Structures are given as structure tokens and as C-alpha cells.
Amino acid sequence: MWLWVAATTVGFVIVVKVVYTLRSGRCRSEVKLVGKTVIVTGASAGIGKETARDLAERGARVILACRNLEKAQKVADDIINTTGNGQVLVRELDTSDLKSVRKFAREILATEKRLDILVNNAGMSGPKTKKISNDGLELTLATNHFGHFLLTNMLLGVTTNCLHPGVVNTEIILKENTNFLNYIFAFFFWSMGKDEKLGAQTTIHLAVSEDVASVSGMYYTDCKITKPSNLASDKGLAKKLWEVSEDLVGLSQEEKNY
């Protein structure tokens, strides 16, 4: 009986994974990025790493903006060795720390002649216990939202779109929280989710595809425009979020590049 249940469960998991993988979007663009400069935050692992690798393969000058410089440098070296593109650099950026964000942005503005693509990828899952950043902000929101909000404002002159990568098997689930429930989630992601390369496809699509060159303000899943939730479509709520974010990060007039 138990053997039958186990075999049935395994078979179900395999079928779901195969179907999900086959239905997942893929970037079909063969655009080259020679002469372009790209920043990918959180590029030392997961989706960010595979995005950086793909853009480097296309000839871009890729800046890995990461908190862990040692880990990021190993990734950069691997990308250089596998793609033959020597223009893969590492710069320090901790999106949970607004001081770090401002330092990084000012260095980019001072040293880079151009910036063509900004991929706000860095993120974390919620820790087991509430943590506060150096700026007095909840750590998950500081990392995933406020840091990127400030960075994008300081580096604007581009189109902006957002995406959901789908269920992707990366280290993020267990990185901050190793309780039993997260192990269950991690097993689900591992057994039925996309791998990192497939999970990066929508990010890459938005970065390179000619089809989205003039598209802005859209939400994508599997390389296609998707209707966001009602909350995400609420313009009044979006305006309030923007205003609160400006206030909490202390965005000055000089930092608004728009």
C-alpha cells in the first residue's frame, strides 16, 4: 500500500514538473549587447547569476552588484571563463542598507559612461524573526523594495517593467529561515519548480527582447504580459506607496533623475 502511494506521488510530481517546465516561457531573442552596460543586483546566485551569464554571453559589460564580494567574484570568474567575456565586474551593493545603495549609485554615475539595463533582482525571503535594517526598516522590505526603489530613482532614464519568475528552485527559501515549513516549501520548489536558468528567462526577455524595447509599466510572467492583481492595479495605492517610499528612504531632489 505504502509502496503504491509513494510511486503514485513520485509519478505525479514528475508529471507536474514536466508540464510546468514545458509551459514555461523562454526568451527567444538573439539580440547581441556588445557595447551595452548592464547592472544585475543579487547576481551571485540563482536567477541573478543566470541572467548575468546570459547577458555576458551576448557581449554586454556586466556589473554584478552584490553584498558578498567573495561569492560574487567566484561567479564573475566562472562567467568570464565560460563565456569568454572579460567585461564582467563585481561591485559592492547591499540593498538592505540605504548608505550602501547611495554609495553604489554615486560610483556608477561617476565612473560609467552609460547604463543600458538595470536588473533589480536581489531579494530575500522573510526571516523567522523580525529583523530591522540599519535604517530602521523591516529587513525584507528594505532588501526587496526600498533599496531598489532608491537605486532606480538615482539611475533612471529607462523603461520599467516588472515580472514574476514563477516557481524556481533557488537557495532563497532556506537562506534566511530553516524551519520545518520552509523545508517543505523547499522540497516543493526543488521537485516541481523551474531550474535557475529557466527561471531567469522572463528577466532576460525584458532585458533584451526587441518586442519590449518601447514597453513600460507592464507586468510579465513566462515572457508574456499578464494582468496583475487588483491591489497592484490600484493607482491610488501605488501613489501612496511611492510617496511613503520616498519618505522612508529620504529621497532628495538631487537623487531624482527624472
Domains of the chain: 30-250 (3.40.50.720)
Q: Give helix 147-155 / helix 98-111 axis angle, nearest 10°.
A: 20
Q: 202, 28 in Cβ contact below 8 A? A: no
What pLDDT is recorded for position 19? 76
237 has pLDDT over 90: yes
Reported as a single tens digit per residue, the pLDDT across 68-91 is 999 999 999 999 999 999 999 999
Mean pLDDT of 186-210: 86
DSSP letter for 91, please: E
Give dist(CA 35, CA 9) in Å, integer: 50
Q: 167, 189 in Cβ contact below 8 A? A: yes
DSSP letter for 125, please: P
